[in-house]
Amino acid sequence: MKHVHSGKVRDLYETDDGLLLMVASDRISAFDHVLQPDIPDKGAVLTQLSLWWFDQLKDIVPNHVVAPGDEARAVLCRPLRMVQVECVARGYLAGGGLSEYRAGGAVSGVPLPEGLKDGSRLPEPIFTPSTKAPQGEHDEPIPYERVVEEIGAETAAELRRITLAVYTRGAQIAAERGIILADTKIELGWDADGVLTLGDEVLTPDSSRFWPADEWRPGRSQPSFDKQYVRDWLLSPESGWDKSSGNPPPRLPDHVVERTRQRYLEAYERLTGAPFSG
């Protein structure tokens, strides 16, 4: 197969019949850096969890999956012409959304009530798009009106509708399992027939914030089933890393690697209700 592209986490190969084999590595990234070392089993968890979610969402939006790959970390899929907008839905305030809110009381141009804290639940889920920056650069939040300008009102409305529908379904299913889906990012593209289609990964610990519901306490960084644990360690005195220095992050210690692996496995098993087999 022909190697087409390698991102922070995934490697893409083209088959002889024009399909794509998407392989999720065990690489982990944070703050636009690929970190060392890898997280064992992470790629297989992301792929298998995405396949499970695609099945839960198939009545909302079609997806790019043709068939699972021979390995647990791989999936055969249809090529898509990707929309050049990051589609994000938020039901709670955290991460970059929290920083925006603190700076101006709004997220991607959506005004929010005063007095919200880190981890606060929003009055309703909101669509908060951002630019799709090249690898190594930062995505920038943009208002919905700019999405309309760039891709047209009809397509922008469909992006918002699908993104919020995916978030709502995901949040409902997660809540039944004692998990809060705080926010999520999805990737959409047009298939060969011009139909907006869900691609890449969906509702995984890499693309979403998952919090244990029984530990949710607004006003602090929430315990999580995602890579927030890695982000928190990188920003802690223990790591010794200054995010603004321009220097690459330090190597993750063994205890952070193992704890992160366990959080990914727990997310998979709690959400799907099945043991992870890899």
Question: Is residue 211 in a domain?
Answer: yes
pLDDT of residue 170: 98
With b meaning 16 or more CB within 10 Å and e meaning fewer, what string describes 90-120? bbbbbbbbbebbeeeebbbbbebeeebebbb
Alpha-carbon distances, residue 130 vs 10, 123, 190, 216 (angstroms): 21, 21, 19, 27
Q: What's residue 277's pLDDT?
A: 86
Q: From first to last of its 278 residues, what are the pLDDT tens digits of the chain?
A: 899 999 889 999 999 999 999 999 999 999 889 999 999 999 999 999 999 999 999 999 999 999 999 999 999 999 999 999 999 999 999 999 999 999 999 999 999 999 999 999 999 999 999 998 766 667 889 999 999 999 999 999 999 999 999 999 999 999 999 999 999 999 999 999 999 999 999 999 999 999 999 999 999 999 999 888 899 999 999 999 999 998 999 999 999 999 999 999 999 999 999 999 87
pTM: 0.94
Res 213: pLDDT? 97
CB 208 within 8 A of CB 170: yes
Q: Report yes or no on 17 lying in a domain.
A: no
Q: How far is it, in rounded angstroms, from Cα 58 to Cα 207?
A: 18
Which SS3 state, helix, strand or coil, does residue 192 take?
coil
pLDDT at site 229: 87
CB burial string 11-31: b at 16+ within 10 A, e below: bbbeeeeebbbbbbbbbbbbe
Q: Which domain holds residue 140?
A: 80-277
Report pLDDT for 139: 80
- Predicted confidence at residue 136, as pLDDT, reads 61
What is the CATH number for 193? 3.30.470.20
Phi, psi of 33, rounded to the nearest 5 degrees: -120, 140
Query: Does residue 266 fall inside a structural domain?
Result: yes
Q: What is the pLDDT of residue 132?
A: 83
Is residue 7 a part of any domain in this protein?
A: no
Residue written as token pair 């298998």: 48
Amino acid letter at 145? E
- pLDDT for res 278: 76
pLDDT of residue 96: 92
* Residue 99 within any structural domain of the chain: yes
Residue 4 lies in a domain: no
User: How many angstroms separate the CA atoms of 65 and 68, rounded?
Assistant: 8
Q: Are 12 and 5 in contact (CB under 8 A)?
A: yes
Report strand pairing: 65-68 vs 121-127: unpaired
Contact yes or no for 83/188 (Cβ under 8 A): yes
Is 5 within a domain? Answer: no
Do 25 and 11 touch, CB atoms closer than 8 A?
Answer: yes
Cα separation, 74 vs 23, in Å, equals 4
Give how many domains the chain has, as a whole number.
Answer: 1
Other CB atoms closer than 10 Å to residue 275's CB: what's the count? 9
Distance CA 47, CA 69 (A): 10
- In a domain? residue 204: yes
Cis before residue 253, ω within 30 degrees of 0? no
Instruction: Quote the pLDDT of residue 37.
Output: 97
Cβ neighbours, 10 Å, residue 159: 21
